Every structure is written in structure tokens, then in C-alpha cells.
Structure 1
């Protein structure tokens, strides 16, 4: 693949992207991810290079010709190539790029450490859009790695827990509620939304007392029985330490483990609404 240097996504960051997992020859939550990149592109004022169905067909065909059965599909929409000006008015036409990344590794369920990020969080207008402007995210991740941690956790301007550098976050409270921060100032993660749905099964069998999406203060988050990161790259990853605060007995929580198993089962044999077959 060749991307021109005068592509507006390259020299101005004027592009959006998304990712869908490939599991056993099926694309997981492709419909939801395509809807989100279209929403992001609309907010970024990028004209769609194709209609929604054509985009969806191109993405499926890309996976098909790759012969990849397990991995991920990452794709970008850009204002396109044209010139090196600030405005995209000189760009000839918008562009769609897609690449398949093969990955046979299993998702890791081992507990991790996170730290509180000192890097300023992006304002809601940009945080709720999945754009290629990821420098704050990169610096936040590097800050975590410098402290021998897996990820850094952002707080919003009001001091409430927001999200990780590229993942959502959730908690199991002492009252046995699944608690997740509101999505009004952060990215609405597809895996996080799916976990909220799958967790209803835990409520029905009495393992959770309820599910709540609300503002979460840092004290409530640090004192919760369980904490987990949610995202396409980790699915559900238990957190056993935040800064100097160890969660529970320092072991992975049972609800985190169960939710990871739920979403893996969903990827393997879930409803057709979340699994799109690829014809190789």
C-alpha cells in the first residue's frame, strides 16, 4: 500500500479510523464499527468515499482476499491527497484505506497495572470521534510504560474517571454493580457497549445486582472490588493495581474473567447481528 505524503490524513491528521476483529473467519461487530467510522467521518467533515454498503463490501472483500481467519481489520477514511495546505479544499477526492493484520495469539486474561495519566485528555468534541489525532493517546501510553504499567487512565475536566489511552474502563462496585463511565465525553467503545449487553446475563443469574453507566469519581473507582479495561485489542482485561492501590487480593476478579469468556463465546458463536461471515 502506498499513501501519498500530501494526503490530508498524513500531514494534517485529517482522517478517522476503526478496527474490527476477525475470529474464525467472521468479522466481529462489523456493522457497529462501520456505523462508527461513518459517524466519525461526518464529525470530521470528511465526505464519504463510497456509500455505507460499498464500504462494508470492500472491507469484507479485503479480508476475503487476505485469507486471514484470525486477526484484525483496520481501516481509515481520509479527506484524500491533493496539496499541503491546511484546508482540504485542494484534495481531489476522499480515500478509504484498509489493511488486515493476522494474529493467532490468544487474548490475555492476566491482571495488569494502570496509572493515572498526567497528559491532558482530549476535549469531548475530539475524544468522542475516532480520529487519527492520537498524540495524547501515544504520550499517555508511553507515560504508563515508563512506570512499568500497561495503560494510563484519564480523568475528565470535572475529575471523573474517563477512559484509558485507547480503551474504556469498567468497575464492579462493592454493591456488585457493573459500573461504567458515561460516554458523553469519551469514545463509545463497541466492545464496551457489547459488554453492557452481555452482562445482563450475569444480572439474571444473580452474579451482578445491576448495571449502571454514570459519573465515576476516582475514589469510587479505586475502592471498587474489580476494575477492567475494555477494547478491541484486549476485549476484557482485569486490572489488579491502579497507581499504588492494589485491587482486592491482587488477583483477577471473577466478574472480569466471566465477561471475557462471554465475549469470546460471542465472537465464536454469537448472533448474526455481531458476526459477519467472510467468504474466502
Structure 2
């Protein structure tokens, strides 16, 4: 039986219901975290919970207690009898009246779901375009995993229509921010670099891991310098995807560096 954890209860998917007045559904008023589950454990769970707490603070939203969320993960994993896959935690501001202003008595909706494994192993290379949607690194909302995901949705749809697999979203000032649903790591001038949060990059958990190990460093990558990139990878909590081309230009790639990235994130 397929189950979800919703507001403190394990329920069959067929019985789980979100209120039609939920602000997450109506206004995108909420946050989410996507987490990798391996051998029954969520790697970098504390980093996910910390980012959720930071996002809740930005949105002035009461954050679920970390102990409750750890318990929800354990309960759902045990009930489903799964050891691997991905978990999505969604937190909304809950129900409210019509209009933009939240009610005085906020009761967040908390939903945890599981999906079958997404491999972090070998992947085909992908082709990237450049999106017309710009991420403003100066905006507090650029640093949270908001349910307002339309720029990423439109980026992916327009990339597909143009014959690409995904696209890079620029930051303000003509620099690279990230891809539609992942951070990006470049091999440029012999160095491994990832765009800084100030340029519009989401503070991803895998990105954070690579930075803290000293494997790569933050650095702005102007769009004009994409022609000089030797290799690139999209990194997320679930996968490492090698980039085979940006626009019409093929990348040489670097199998050795890719092995290091995979070992650091999924080894």
C-alpha cells in the first residue's frame, strides 16, 4: 500500500486530502525539501532541516519541530518498508481566507511522501540552453525552496521546445545562477567553480557538501565565459548529471573529476 505522512498521520495516498483553501495550493505559500534516502538513512538530513528552518524564517512561517520531522521520516520509511529512494517534505502556511494576508491563527500543513530510487550513478550527458528567466540573488526568496516554481517549470518547458534537456538561469548582471532544478559546477580555467548565492544560486545541500570539502569554490561565471567552460555537471540531492553541451558547443568533459564529485556526494 502506498502511504504518505500528513499532519502527523500515516495515510493511504487514496485517503490523503489537502484542504481546497490551503495557501500552498492557492498561492504557492510554502516550502519543500527533496531528500535522498539510502540504506534507510537521509544523507545530510541536518543540512536539509537547517535550510527548511532558514526558509521558514524568511517566510515568517512557523517551522515544524526537527524532532517531529525526523520521526515522520522514520515512521514513513518503516511503514513502507523501503530503504532507498527519495523523500519530499512539503510545508505550507495551511488554510486561510481569500486574499493575500494570512490568518492570525496559522496551522501549517506538513506532507511527507516517498518515491522510488533515482540513480546517482552514471547518467547520459545533457544539453543546456540559456533561459530568459533571471534569478535575483539579492531577493530573500532566491535563497529558499519555495513552492513558487514557475520560472523553473517554464525554463524546462522552453528548453525542451528548443531542443535542449535543460537550461541555465542567469543571475542579475549577466552571470550564471543555476539550472532549473539543480546547482551547476563548472571546470573553468583549470578550477572547479560553482556560482555564489549572491548570483542567484540556491544554497543546495550537495553544493554545500562540495564547497565544505574544498573540492570547489564559489565564483561568478559570466555568460560570456560559457564558451571557455571545459566541463560541467548539474548537482542536486539526488543526482550528478554531466553536461555534454551548452548551446551549440560541445564540452570535453572530465571523467576523473566526475568520479570525485560522485564519491563526495554518493560514495
Q: TM-score range by the shorter chain?
A: 0.7 to 0.9
Taking CA–CA contacts closer than 8 Å with sequence separation of 6 or more, which of the two structures ends up with the larger relative contact order? 1
Q: By how many angstroms is 1:90 displaced?
A: 5.7
Counterparts of 1:2 and 1:90 in 2: how far apart (Å)?
Answer: 23
- The runs of 5 or more residues in structure 2 that have no matched partner are 1-15
| Aligned position for 1:114 | 128
Q: Is contact 1:171–1:221 with CA below 8 Å preserved after alignment?
A: no
Q: By how many angstroms is 1:108 displaced?
A: 3.8
Counterparts of 2:243 and 2:254 in 1: how far apart (Å)?
Answer: 7
Other structure's SS at 2:103 match: helix
1:38-187 alignment, distance < 5 Å: 38-48=53-63, 50-89=64-103, 92-103=106-117, 105=119, 107-121=121-135, 124-174=139-189, 176-184=190-198, 185-187=200-202
1:267-278 alignment, distance < 5 Å: none
Q: Is contact 1:153–1:163 with CA below 8 Å preserved after alignment?
A: yes
**What do residues 138-167 of structure 1 show as CA deviations (whole Å, max 9, x unaligned)?**
000111111232211011111111110111
Counterparts of 1:83 and 1:63 in 2: how far apart (Å)?
Answer: 35
Other structure's SS at 1:26 match: coil
| TM value normalised by structure 1 | 0.82
Other structure's SS at 1:237 match: strand
Q: Is contact 1:81–1:92 with CA below 8 Å preserved after alignment?
A: yes
**What do residues 179-210 of structure 1 show as CA deviations (whole Å, max 9, x unaligned)?**
1111123210001111234464xxxxxxxxxx
Q: Is contact 1:80–1:91 with CA below 8 Å preserved after alignment?
A: no
| Aligned position for 1:262 | 264
Counterparts of 1:213 and 1:186 in 2: how far apart (Å)?
Answer: 10
Counterparts of 1:247 and 1:105 in 2: how far apart (Å)?
Answer: 23
| Aligned position for 1:21 | 36
